Amino acid sequence: MSNIVDPLVARIAARVRAERERRRWTLAQLAEASGVSQAMISRIERGESSPTAVVLGKLSAAFQLGIASLVATAEGAREDTTVTTGVRRRADAAQWRDPGTGYRRRQVSGPHFPAEIAEIRLPPGARVPYPAAAFAFVRQVVWVLDGRLTFHEGDTVHELDEGDTIELGDPTPRVFANTTDAECRYAVILSRGTQP
């Protein structure tokens, strides 16, 4: 078995640990707040396990952060705080893959841009549920670029085709699902509100 840790998994691990420690929570307190086992949280923080999108959703809800905040900060982690402009090549962008569904997320915007923009590729048959608290303190637009997205917003189901968009309102449990036999590609544009 290899001891090599994926750099993105290591950054997600550091981000989860930093958020837990910033709140002075024990593993048991985070487990209780998130519904994720202490053992899983420990493996994630050590970089031994890449969290699934569902687990990230539960952790972000416990932290009262948007999911994008956990992943995007890890994807775009930089030490400098200077605002730069320029070209970002696709090949240079970090891409996170959910080990459970094959869902892939690529950060499009840089860490200093005022909105977070991500490209998502949802494989056929994939279904990714998130709790309402995962959407606290954020405003989002979902824009379907290719394919079809079945989007559950609480009890309401929206069938979104290529070119369709949906602006998300107050936090509610949401499910991103691909019920077709072709990949669905969509963009998530997120702006942050006041956060704890």
Q: What is the CATH number of the domain that holds 105?
A: 2.60.120.10
Identify whether residues 101 and 124 lie together within a single domain: yes
Q: Mark whether 69 and 143 lie in a shared domain.
A: no
Question: Is residue 138 in a domain?
Answer: yes
Q: How far is CA 145 from CA 36, 95, 141, 174, 186, in A?
A: 32, 18, 13, 19, 5
Taking each helix axis as running N to C, give the angle between helix 67-75 and helix 7-22, from 0 to 180 degrees, rounded to the nearest 10.
130
User: Are the C-beta atoms of residues 12 and 50 closer than 8 Å to each other?
Assistant: yes
CATH assignment of the domain containing 23: 1.10.260.40
What pLDDT was estimated at residue 17?
Answer: 92
Looking at the domain assignment, is residue 85 inside a domain? no
* Per-residue pLDDT tens listing for the chain (196 residues): 444 457 778 888 888 999 999 999 999 999 999 999 999 999 999 988 888 888 888 898 888 776 766 775 544 444 334 445 677 777 777 678 888 899 998 888 876 778 888 899 999 999 999 888 777 767 889 999 999 999 999 999 999 999 999 999 888 899 999 999 999 999 999 886 654 4
| Closest C-alpha to 68, from 25, 30, 12 | 12
pLDDT for res 127? 95
In this structure, is residue 84 part of a structural domain?
no
User: For the purposes of burial, counting CB atoms within 10 Å of the CB of 5, is it exposed (0-12), middle (13-18) or buried (19 or more)?
Assistant: middle
Residues 141, 95 share a domain: yes
Backbone angles phi, psi at 27, to 5 degrees: -60, -40
Q: Which of 75, 99, 122 is the last residue of a domain?
A: 75
Q: What residues contact residue 101 under an 8 Å CB cut-off, 6+ apart? A: 52, 53, 122, 123, 126, 127, 128
Predicted local confidence at residue 79, as pLDDT: 37
Looking at the fold, whether 58 and 95 belong to one and the same domain comes out as no
Angle formed at CA 20 by CA 67 and CA 26, multiple of 5 degrees: 135
Is residue 43 within 8 Å of residue 49, measured between CB atoms? yes
Residue 96 within any structural domain of the chain: yes
How many whole angstroms separate alpha carbon 68 and alpha carbon 142?
13
Same domain, 94 and 68: no
Query: Is residue 61 located within the same domain as residue 116?
Result: no
How confident is the model at residue 1, as a pLDDT? Answer: 40
Measure the CA–CA gap between 153 and 170, rounded to whole angstroms: 10
Q: What is the pTM of this model?
A: 0.74
Q: Are residues 34 and 98 in the same domain?
A: no
The first and second tokens of residue 73, run together, are 């900060």
Domain count for the chain, please give it: 2
Domain that holds residue 100: 90-192
